[in-house]
Amino acid sequence: MKLAFHGAARSVTGSRHLLDLDGRKVLLDCGMVQGRREESFQRNRVFGFDPRSISAVILSHAHIDHSGALPTLVKSGFSGPIYATPPTGELADLMLQDSAHIAENDAAIVSRREFRKVEPIYTLDDAKAAARLIHPVKYHQEFEIAPRVRVSFHDAGHMLGSSLVRIQTPTRRILFSGDLGRASLPILKSPELLSGADAIIVESTYGNRVHPPEGDEEKLLGDLICRVADRRGKILIPAFAVGRTQHLTYRLKRLQGKIPDIPVYVDSPLAANVTEIYRRHPECHEPGTWAKGDPFGFGMLRYTRSPEESKKLNDLKDPAIIIAASGMCEHGRILHHLFHHGSEARNALLFVGYQAEHTLGRKIQDGLRRVRVLGREMELRAEVVKMDGLSAHADRPGLEEFIRAHARTLKDCFVVHGEVDAAEDFSKWVHESTMARSLVPGLGMEVSL
């Protein structure tokens, strides 16, 4: 049995881990690489393995850095089943079509600019073909991916439908964390605390950091809103359409009465559609989430769908909160709002999620103020604020708790989905705490189990 790492290895995005079960190859996630344009462009087209050799894909959740390369995999010859929880299947269908639309639009822009035909990484037809291969499987329901190899999904608490993937063979018990969530998050149930794995593939996005208490961050969010509203400004929030946007609207609902009555715009057709899927799956929510009515709606909240509605937000004169994708400022409507409102010092740009290396969001977060947005240079004068406590990823204590539950049985740990310093720091702790072999694999690295 072998395990190879073809993405999210000593980096965060592009989760792809290939499990070779004595000749039967199963891919854990098939995510899109985000970051440097030329590097990500190449790696999202070339997998490092033959897609036709893959017998099945197991998808931990629908975020694009875990699911976004599925259409390319199918376009390149993969035709097997893609196993996922029912909410993940619904969300992936929406997100892959949205990703295809962005890819087609980007290719058209580059073609016009460079006076040559540039093909998108994949098309809407490719995205639909990938979605047709999704096989929904409920949490805790076992299914076979090879003779005597059983798999089950368990709640990861990261976003709707997110799962820990448990794989049991006659000789090994393997656990893949996907993205591990936080016990303190609202809306979603807490991550399940499993035990007994002897091999673990674990994320490390916040492997060397501790989140502030959620209550503190919610107060900071309220203070920011009051401060910016007092100076008649707007708050721009780049947020993933799936998960982060819903958590934000829920928190903003809880702050009603403690903050000024200013409109909140969710400027994303995808986020609006995703929110409907959240509403359809209350079985995935924490008890009490619906105690005060719709957790994703309140009087000052508005969803904008059409381009015309979005463009009108550029002319807003009064204070407002605008939530829009993409979460790392790489594309989408947030760029238009950044271009039109980012040059005014009275406004604020609030980061509420992880910003991958080399993305525009990360560059701004690290202090860059002369930025290129929509092909034009601009001076960013808006206040830049970062709130890690609103993240849906487990921090170091959460990751430690996850590993401790397997301390007696753990033999191998592979630390992925983290920047090098975070991954190596956490990997060292795993080895010292459990005496298991703990590695931070490099891209393309293959290990025997």
Q: What is the pLDDT of residues 106-123, one digit of tens each?
A: 788 778 878 888 888 999
Burial class of residue 46 in the structure, from the number of CB atoms within 10 Å of its CB (0-12 exposed, 13-18 middle, 19+ buried): exposed
Q: Name beta bridge partners: 304.
A: 267
- pLDDT, tens digit (0-9, with 9 covering 90-100), for 160-176: 999 999 999 999 999 99
Task: State whether 62 and 9 are in the same domain.
Answer: yes
Q: How far is CA 103 from its chain centroid?
A: 18
Model confidence at 442: pLDDT above 90: yes
Percent of the chain with pLDDT over 70: 100
Task: State whether 332 and 411 are in the same domain.
Answer: no
* Per-residue pLDDT, 255: 94
Domain with residue 93: its CATH number is 3.60.15.10
- pLDDT, tens digit (0-9, with 9 covering 90-100), for 280-303: 999 999 999 998 899 999 999 999
Model confidence at 44: pLDDT above 80: yes
Mean pLDDT of the chain: 94
What is the spatial distance between Cα 34 and Cα 238, in angstroms, rounded to a whole number?
16
* Per-residue pLDDT, 302: 96
- pLDDT, tens digit (0-9, with 9 covering 90-100), for 342-371: 999 999 999 998 888 889 999 999 999 999
Model confidence at 37: pLDDT above 80: no
Task: State whether 58 and 197 are in the same domain.
Answer: yes
Q: Name beta bridge partners: 295.
A: none
Task: State whether 237 and 185 are in the same domain.
Answer: no
**Taking Cα atoms as reference points, which of 172, 64, 196 lies closest to residue 127?**
64
Cis peptide before 326 (omega within 30 of 0): yes
Model confidence at 189: pLDDT above 90: yes
Task: State whether 239 and 352 are in the same domain.
Answer: yes
Q: Are strands 320-324 and 376-379 parallel, antiparallel or unpaired?
A: unpaired
Band of pLDDT at residue 70, cut at 50, 70 and 90:
very high
Model confidence at 391: pLDDT above 90: no
Higher pLDDT, 39 or 369: 369
Tokens 């400004």 map to which residue?
Answer: 233
Token pair of 227 as six digits: 């401060």
Instruction: Note whether 17 and 201 are within 8 A (CB).
Output: yes
Model confidence at 36: pLDDT above 80: no
What is the spatial distance between Cα 375 and Cα 235, in angstroms, rounded to a whole number?
23
* Per-residue pLDDT, 356: 83
Considering its fold, how many domains does the chain have in total?
Answer: 2
* Per-residue pLDDT, 102: 84
Q: E-assigned strands of 147-198? A: 149-155, 163-168, 173-176
Model confidence at 372: pLDDT above 80: yes
What is the spatial distance between Cα 391 and Cα 248, in angstroms, rounded to a whole number?
10
Q: Are strands 234-238 and 320-324 parallel, antiparallel or unpaired?
A: parallel
pTM: predicted TM-score of the whole model, two decimal places: 0.91
Three-state secondary structure call for residue 26: strand
Task: State whether 397 and 377 are in the same domain.
Answer: no
What is the spatial distance between Cα 384 and Cα 431, in angstroms, rounded to a whole number?
38
**Taking Cα atoms as reference points, which of 28, 77, 14 lies closest to residue 57?**
28
* Per-residue pLDDT, 112: 83
- pLDDT, tens digit (0-9, with 9 covering 90-100), for 251-270: 999 999 999 999 999 999 99
Task: State whether 40 and 101 are in the same domain.
Answer: yes
Domain with residue 384: its CATH number is 3.40.50.10890
Three-state secondary structure call for residue 119: coil
Q: E-assigned strands of 75-148? A: 82-84, 134-136, 143-146
Model confidence at 212: pLDDT above 90: no
In one-letter notation, the amino acid at residue 175 is: L
User: Where do runs of H (alpha helix) occur along 191-328?
Assistant: 214-230, 244-254, 269-280, 307-312
**Taking Cα atoms as reference points, which of 160, 195, 168, 163 lies closest to residue 180?**
163
The radius of gyration of the chain from alpha carbons, rounded to an integer in Å, stands at 21
Task: State whether 125 and 138 are in the same domain.
Answer: yes
Residues in the chain: 449
Model confidence at 69: pLDDT above 90: yes
Instruction: Note whether 42 and 72 are within 8 A (CB).
Output: no
- pLDDT, tens digit (0-9, with 9 covering 90-100), for 327-347: 899 888 999 999 999 999 999
Q: What is the mean pLDDT of residues 70-92?
A: 97
Least confident of 178-182, 244-248, 408-412, 436-440: 244-248
16-21 sheet: strands from edge to edge:
134-136, 82-84, 54-58, 24-28, 16-21, 2-7, 446-448
- How many other CB atoms are there within 10 angstroms of residue 209's CB atom? 14
Least confident of 186-190, 216-220, 227-231, 395-399: 216-220
Tokens 């559609």 map to which residue?
Answer: 273
Task: State whether 82 and 101 are in the same domain.
Answer: yes
Q: What is the mean pLDDT of residues 66-71?
A: 97
Model confidence at 431: pLDDT above 90: yes
Task: State whether 341 and 221 are in the same domain.
Answer: yes
Last residue of a domain, one of 341, 357, 390: 390
Task: State whether 161 and 232 are in the same domain.
Answer: no
What range defines the domain where residue 322 resides? 214-390
Task: State whether 165 and 253 are in the same domain.
Answer: no
